[in-house]
Amino acid sequence: MAEVVFEHVTRIYPGNDEPSVDDLSLDIKDGEFLVLVGPSGCGKSTTLRMLAGLEEVNKGRIMIGGKDVTTMQPKDRDIAMVFQNYALYPHMTVADNMGFALKIAGTPKDEIRQRVEKAAEILDLTEFLDRKPKALSGGQRQRVAMGRAIVRQPKVFLMDEPLSNLDAKLRVQTRTQIAALQRQLGVTTLYVTHDQTEALTMGDRIAVIKLGVLQQVGAPTELYDHPDNVFVAGFIGSPSMNINIHPVVDGHAKIGEDTVSLPREAVDKLTAEDNGRIVVGFRPEDATLAGAGEPDAFSLSVANVEDLGSDGYIYGNILTDDSPAEKATVMSDQNKLTTIRVNPRQLPKVGDVVKIHIDPAKMHLFSPSTELRLN
């Protein structure tokens, strides 16, 4: 039993007024692979380091397997960490690196060798056990670091951006191996990354954090299909969601010269603080090219096109009346451009003006004042 529980945990670094992690409450179930994701400086590594015992907890408490470990020494917490830099001893063989922690703990040699060989078999490292780290590739070194954690048979794995030093192809390959390995071992795992593609492909659940505050926790599909606020909507997904603020006129969003129908339930939730405006979000795959006279469509001036063979993307500017109020309403981070996925065999040309229709069932609507979900 190794459920991990953060109960109202806060960390304020000396000299700082603002907490790096603020009132965090989070449960990681026994055997679960939970990915903590957020931009740089959001407090995700601090959270992991508090669980490891490497950072002090100013308020709240942390439980592992029902035991309060808040003030416990790292060595007594029965956790194993994998860092982004492999931290291998260059003068030791792979086998010695993997078994070093057991050797320090006084584990019998036969048992160390047995555990190391079993871990090497799982990680496909058996033929490299007698080599030094310098004779291995980056991916193999990261697997050795994983093996060093596995042989300890801990209650909890902590992984701090372990793939960020690998090239793109190796990253994809290794993340698949790590996810499969965790399911095989069934060890409770907290995995920290800023890469939301890793989060979506690896985690049983994802926790999104921003400026030390937990934003939303849920299954990958839940966060993708039903983000609770504008930040989660824009952060999860690649290419990211198109997010813009538009005036509301007679129950419609005014998008440039055009209007798009809005569900009544969402419009009714707008308050005086929203100032007669609404945040409209939609993913690139949830919009289509529309015919000239089609209702609930808006005009887009095509600035760039991409033909990826299996997919096509158009990037464009919503045609507005050029007023400063309209120009300042783009919240997407794709160079302020709106992105639409289209059939690559039907790509328009740069400079074309096309009509775009958003699937009304896939529209994400938020309050401009609170940035919380309305529909």
Which ranges of the chain does DSSP label H, i.e. alpha helix? Answer: 44-52, 94-104, 109-122, 138-150, 168-185, 196-202, 220-225, 230-235, 264-268, 324-327
Please say whether the beta carbons of 62 and 51 come within 8 A. Answer: yes
Please say whether the beta carbons of 359 and 287 come within 8 A. Answer: yes
| Confidence (pLDDT) at 330 | 61
Q: What is the mean pLDDT of residues 142-160?
A: 88
Q: pLDDT, tens digit, for every residue of 73-125?
A: 998 999 988 887 778 889 999 999 999 988 888 889 999 999 898 888 888 88
Q: pLDDT, tens digit, for every residue of 1-25?
A: 589 999 999 999 999 989 999 999 9
Residue with tokens 């760039």: 304
Residue with tokens 């992984």: 159
CA angle 22, 26, 27 (to 5 degrees): 165
| Confidence (pLDDT) at 294 | 85
Q: pLDDT, tens digit, for every residue of 230-260?
A: 999 999 988 889 999 999 999 999 988 889 9
Helix or strand or coil: residue 341? Answer: strand
Side-chain-side CA neighbours of residue 231 (13 Å)? 14
CATH class, domain 4-234, is alpha beta
Average confidence score pLDDT of the chain: 89
Report the Cα–Cα distance between both ends of the chain, in Å, rounded: 38
**Cis? peptide before 74, omega within 30° of 0:** no
Span(s) in the chain for CATH 2.40.50.140? 242-366
pTM of the model: 0.88
| Confidence (pLDDT) at 1 | 58
Question: How does strand 312-318 pair with strand 338-342?
Answer: antiparallel
Please say whether the beta carbons of 42 and 209 come within 8 A. Answer: yes
The CATH number of the domain covering residues in 242-366: 2.40.50.140
Q: How far apart are CA 115 and CA 93, in angstroms?
A: 15
| Confidence (pLDDT) at 326 | 52
Helix or strand or coil: residue 256? Answer: coil
| Confidence (pLDDT) at 152 | 85
Tokens of 168: 């793109």
Please say whether the beta carbons of 70 and 62 come within 8 A. Answer: yes
Q: pLDDT, tens digit, for every residue of 329-373?
A: 666 556 678 999 999 888 999 999 999 999 999 999 999 999 999
Please say whether the beta carbons of 156 and 79 come within 8 A. Answer: yes
| Confidence (pLDDT) at 328 | 44
| Confidence (pLDDT) at 230 | 95
Residue with tokens 């939301």: 196
Tokens of 216: 């939303």
Q: How far apart are CA 35 and CA 6, in angstroms?
A: 15
Span(s) in the chain for CATH 3.40.50.300? 4-234
Kindly give, in sequence order, each residue whose CB lies less than 8 Å from that of residue 356, ignoring residues fewer than 6 positions away. 287, 288, 289, 290, 297, 298, 299, 300, 338, 340
Q: How far apart are CA 317 and CA 302, in angstroms?
A: 7
Question: How does strand 213-218 pair with strand 242-249?
Answer: unpaired
